[in-house]
Amino acid sequence: RSVPPGRAAIVCTAPFRRTLADLVERFALSVQVFAFGELPPEVDVRPVAIVEDPASSGSEQLPIGA
């Protein structure tokens, strides 16, 4: 399966999911937030961007998928 055109989701690590979902909701964005473990294996996730912590050495990347 894939996300229908015009639909997107944010996929992140489990510890960050609730905080990110709260932030998205606060700004009234119509984007769903999932942790990687919440996605069934048949879901096709294609990253469109990766958010990095500029203070890290590049090992802390959070993919943003659609």
**Angstrom distance (rounded) from CA 9 to CA 36:** 11
- Distance separating alpha carbons of residues 38 and 12, to the nearest angstrom: 10
pLDDT bin (cut points 50, 70, 90) of residue 63 is: low
What's phi and psi for 55, nearest 5 deg? -80, -15
pLDDT tens per residue, range 44-58: 788 888 777 777 655
Residue 5: pLDDT over 90: no
Residue range 9-46, pLDDT digits in tens: 889 889 999 999 999 999 988 888 999 899 888 887 88
How is the chain split among helix, strand and coil, in percent rounded to 5?
25, 30, 45
Kind and range of the H or E element at 63? strand 61-65
